[in-house]
Amino acid sequence: MADQVGQTSIQNLLKTDIFEILGMAGIASKQRQDITTDMLVAIQNRIVARLQDALSDQDQDTLIAALSEGRAAEGRELLSDNNLPSLETMAVEEALIYKHQFINE
């Protein structure tokens, strides 16, 4: 039961517009775009930091090469071999953590 409540809370947090939660739904489009860009950069930086902590320098180079050359399957395999979730899953996880922290500050 608690697991279902947790999942529902997570889904609601992911689906709910951060600006709505913060009472900023009516902010100007440009300001909204700037804040969204800043949030995305912060989440990307969190993913990079997570990968740097978890992967050796060689694996980091391999991942960068695979992704920049369009070899996504190789990148997914490298992450899996290192017991890491997919980049998509990491993005959702980090976005959720960021959103939660942002709301609770």
- Percent of the chain with pLDDT strictly greater than 70: 85
pLDDT at 59 over 70: yes
Residue that is written with structure tokens 């969190």 in the block: 46
Residue 57's pLDDT band (cuts 50, 70, 90): very high
| pLDDT reading at 2 higher than 60 | no
Residue in the block written with tokens 């490298």:
78
- Of residues 47 and 7, more confidence is placed in 47
25 band by pLDDT with thresholds 50, 70 and 90: confident
Pairwise CA distance, residues 37 & 57, whole Å: 28
